[in-house]
Structures are given as C-alpha cells and as structure tokens.
Amino acid sequence: MNQTESSAGDGCGLEIRHIELDDCSASNPRDCLREYHLYFPSILCQTDPDGNDGLVKGAADLDASTRSLGSDGATGVPADIETTEFLDVGTLPLVFAVHCFGCSAAVMEGAFVPYANDYNSVLVVPVGIENSFNARHCCGYALEKSIDDVSFFEHIIRDLSGEFSFVREDSVYAVGWSNGGFMVFEAAALFRAISPISGYLSETASELKKEEKVFCVDGVCVKAKNPAGRGLFMHQGTNDKLVRPTGCCSDPDKPKCCCGIEADTCVPSKEVAVRWAIDVNSCLEPSTLSLSHLLRRTEKEV
C-alpha cells in the first residue's frame, strides 16, 4: 500500500508517502505502516500555464535517451503542461538523510533540501517510529522492539527505482545524524557511500568485507578481491560526550555514551575508519602496514 501527499516548496515540492511493509513481523501492526518524505529537485520540474510546478515522471519502461512528453499524458505528465520533449536527465543520486533519536524529519529536510536542489539529487527522509531507528546498539523504541529498519529502507529503494527511471539501486547514498549515523552504518550494504555524523558502529558487517575469490575466464583462473568498494565520509567530534570518539561500550572503566548505547567493546572512531579502508575498500593490505601505524599517521594528518 502506498499513499502520497504533496506540499509546496522549492523544486517540485515535498511528498509525504506512507507504505505498508511486506512480510512485516513487528509485534505491533502499526509498526508495519511507515512514512518517508520524498523531495524532487527542480531539474525534474515542468511548469504548467498557471505557473505551477509538476514532476516530470520518468517511467522505467521509457526510452533511455530521450522521452517525448506528448499531450496524451502517456508519461504521467498532466496534459495541460506545456512541453514537447524532455531530454533524459540520466541517473540522479538518491540520497537518504536519516534523523537523530528524538528528532523529526523536518530537521534533515531543513538541512539537506537546499543541497538536493543545488546538486540535482532526489532526497529521501525516512521517519523513524517514535523518532528512533533500530541500528544494533541505538536507539529507543525501534531498538527495544527490534524494528526492521533495514527492510524499510530496502522497500523505499525498490519502490522508487521501479517507479522512476532516473533512480537506480546502484546510485543510492546516505547521510545520518547520531541515531541516523548508526543507522546508515547498519544499512551500509544498501548504499554506494555513507556519511555518518556523530554515530558509528564498531563492527564491519561481513557482507561489506572484501574476500578473495577465484575468477575464471576461458579456463584461466586467478585469485582476486571483489573490486567493488563503498565510500565512507565520517564526521565525529573529538569532544562529543553523547557519542564518544573513543567508542560506546559496556566496559565500566570507559566513559559512557548517551541513550544507553553500548557495544561489547569500545572501538575509537579513527580505528573504525581505518578498518573500513582495509576491510571494505582494500586500500591497504593489513600485512603492509600495522593498524597502530595507520592510526598514528591519521592522528598526525588530523
């Protein structure tokens, strides 16, 4: 089930969408009904004779180079919109902006809508149940009830890539703040790159790690690593007392983080970034340079 509301704004405006998740196992049925906000940049807009903006929808089954927008409205564009031909915009980045624990979607919209319009990005702002997301160690109601927010994000990506030709599943990115930072780490396998702000997971998910595999072509086999990597642009304050740069864990000898965030062990944010470079992107082989050496070099560069 999908329901859509629209509101005015820059670009083509903001849509509020409601969906019902398939195969939802939440104990409370209302937790299977989710909401996200969707913003389209002005590059996708056409103006009707009354000066109102409308979204030019790129249907997935249309020609990949150009799309004729005739008066018959075959592409979903209202017949009164004055346009003859719309050159394909290609693939636009789909960017998730994930809010913090206790925050609303409006916080991320205010921060990122202007940039989405300036840089021709389609912006998705998921709404956490009771203003929270389940990101393994954080936070609130979603964590307590084991809400499957990764499946929620998957559902959004699948729906939008099927609905719009300018959205592709391999061009999806995410930025998250605090609980949202933890969440984009938790769902990192869905994204081409992530940018967590004041929130990170110390463990690298196994599906993200590059492993040596045997590739064979015409009977010739070589052992190599999967070439696909994922970007990480990590923001962590050195004096952050809510999500500490030294890590959030249950160790009684370590300073505590907010909101009951506790992993089994404390891992500093710098070490997480270095491990990502090694495990996910194979920037350096672990045997080439010791982790402690890398961390010392990182501190000098900072």
Q: Could you tell me the mean pLDDT of each successive run of 10 residues in the chain, 302 residues long? A: 51 83 84 94 72 54 32 34 48 96 94 92 96 95 95 96 91 97 95 95 79 62 65 93 92 90 90 88 61 56 49
57 within a domain of the structure (yes/no): no
35 within a domain of the structure (yes/no): yes
Could you tell me the CATH number of the domain that includes residue 191?
A: 3.40.50
213 within a domain of the structure (yes/no): yes
CA distance 181 to 195: 7
Structural domain range at position 197: 2-41+92-301
User: What pTM, to 2 d.p., does this model score?
Assistant: 0.78
Residue among 75, 76, 112 nearest 95 (CA): 112
260 within a domain of the structure (yes/no): yes
CA distance 279 to 275: 6
The pLDDT assigned to 285 comes to: 55
Under 8 Å between Cβ of 112 and 175 = yes
81 within a domain of the structure (yes/no): no
The pLDDT assigned to 32 comes to: 93
User: From the centroid of its chain, how far is CA 178?
Assistant: 14
What is the number of structural domains in the chain? Answer: 1
252 within a domain of the structure (yes/no): yes
184 within a domain of the structure (yes/no): yes
The pLDDT assigned to 253 comes to: 87
**Burial 232-250, CB ≥16 within 10 A → b, else e:** bebebeeebeebbbbbbbe
For residue 118, what is the enclosing H or E element? helix 105-118
The pLDDT assigned to 243 comes to: 93
Intra-chain end-to-end CA distance of the chain, in Å: 48
67 within a domain of the structure (yes/no): no
